Amino acid sequence: MTVRYVYWQEKDHWLGHLEEFPDYWTQGQTIEELKDHLRDLFEDLSQDRIPEVRRIAELEVR
C-alpha cells in the first residue's frame, strides 16, 4: 500500500503531511526521518487514534 505525501525543506528540517490529511503536519531532521514520522502519523490517523480528523475526498458531480 502507498499513500501520497507533500514535503518540503525549511532551513535544516524536512516538513510534510499526508495528502489525504493536510491539517496534520510532521517533521524530521532528514527526509528518511520525515518518512518514518509520516508512517507513524498515517497509522494514528487511519486507526482513529486522533479525534475529529479532517480528510480530503472526491465528489462526483453531474
pLDDT in tens, 3-62: 999 999 999 999 999 999 999 999 999 999 999 999 999 999 999 898 899 888 899 999
* Predicted pLDDT at 42: 97
Q: For the whole model, what pTM was predicted?
A: 0.86
* Predicted pLDDT at 18: 97
DSSP string over 2-43: ---EEEEEETTEEEEEETT-TT-EEEESSHHHHHHHHHHHHH
* Predicted pLDDT at 11: 95
* Predicted pLDDT at 1: 92
Domain residue spans in the chain?
A: 1-62
C-alpha cell at 55: 480528510
* Predicted pLDDT at 32: 98
